[in-house]
Amino acid sequence: MSDTEALLGDLHAESEELDGLVAGLPAEEWRTATPAVGWTIAHQVAHLAWTDARAVQAAEDPEGFADEVRKAFAAPERFVDEGAERGAADPPAALLERWREGRERLTRVLAAQPPGARLPWYGPPMSVMSMVTARLMETWAHGQDVADALGARRTPTARLRHVARIGVRARGYAYAARGLEPPAEEFRVELTAPGGELWTYGPENASQRVTGPALDFCLLATQRAHRDDLAVRAEGPDADHWLDIAQAFAGPPGRGRRPGGGAA
């Protein structure tokens, strides 16, 4: 099995876990508010379906996707919400089916890409592996919003390593999104995986360090929990500042969460 096939398998498993949370919901429960302000469960699933469709378009119709990018740049604060709003207006059964069909199509399209292919996106072009990882990260993060809305507790899995890796690699972007210059020094990040092993990133002798459970770091980097509610710790002023602004996703800085799990 290739690395891409294995990663696509993890994306499938992550999607199926979220599917299991929403598939049996009565139609009215799709209108349940989630921690993301103004977003219901339907908005969360609609956003995933919309983003999967844009990823397929990026691979199959780069010129059409370029038009979508221009629209996004013209309304950077609205285009994501507007896409979710349109999808959330569909009947839940139709929305669920569209999401299922879209993610299956995305898997086929990405699996068929030639070696070394790079796909346009809302920032720099992405490799196929990076695109799949980003889709997994988003699926996990929006799945967390749905789980929180339903009061469901998800069991952390080794798939979190993909989310953690994006969170670490996006350190520079978290500064750039706020018009800040990132520190030149590399950081050391040591995260305890769900299975107990240690996931490490950066030089072992770095003076700026971040440690803690991988789950907590992923919740922080996707802005699904407030730093005060998590067991992620920093050593050094630059690492400490990074934990205040960490952002694994593209786009403007998010609102994050208030302490105690409330929406910002």
Looking at residue 181, its amino acid is E
218-233: average pLDDT = 97
Contact yes or no for 125/26 (Cβ under 8 A): no
Model confidence pLDDT, tens digit, residues 33-50: 999 999 999 999 999 999
Mean pLDDT calculated for residue range 52-76: 93
The last residue of one of the domains, among 150, 183, 209, is 150
Q: Flag whether pLDDT at 1 surpasses 80.
A: no
Task: Indicate whether 78 pLDDT > 90.
Answer: no
Helix residue ranges, H only, the chain: 3-22, 41-60, 62-74, 79-88, 92-111, 128-150, 160-169, 171-176, 214-221, 237-245
In a domain, residue 255? The reply is no
Does the pLDDT of residue 215 top 60, yes or no?
A: yes
Residue 251: what pLDDT?
A: 78
> Residues 124, 215: one domain?
no
Tell whether 155 is covered by a domain: no
Which of these three, 150, 179, 213, is where a domain ends?
A: 150
Range of the domain at 44: 3-150
Query: With 70 as the cut, is the pLDDT of residue 263 above it?
Result: no
| Of 184, 193, 188, 187, nearest in space to 162 by CA | 193
Half-sphere exposure of residue 191, counting CA atoms within 13 Å on the CB side? 27
Residue 211: CB atoms within 10 A of its CB come to 18
Asked if residue 82 belongs to a domain, the reply is yes
Same domain? 87 vs 40: yes
**Is pLDDT above 80 for 235?**
yes
Residue 258 belongs to a domain: no
Q: What's this model's pTM, rounded to 2 decimal places?
A: 0.94
DSSP type of residue 263: B
Please give the tally of structural domains in the chain: 2
pLDDT above 70: residue 248: yes
Q: What is the CATH number of the domain that holds 127?
A: 1.20.120.450
Residue 95 has pLDDT above 60, yes or no: yes
Q: Is residue 261 part of a domain?
A: no
Percent of the residues in the chain that have a pLDDT greater than 70, as a whole number: 98
In this predicted structure, what is the pLDDT of residue 214? Answer: 98
Give 179's Cβ-side CA count (13 Å radius).
Answer: 0
Residues 170 and 217 in one domain: yes
241, 218: one domain = yes
DSSP state of 212: E
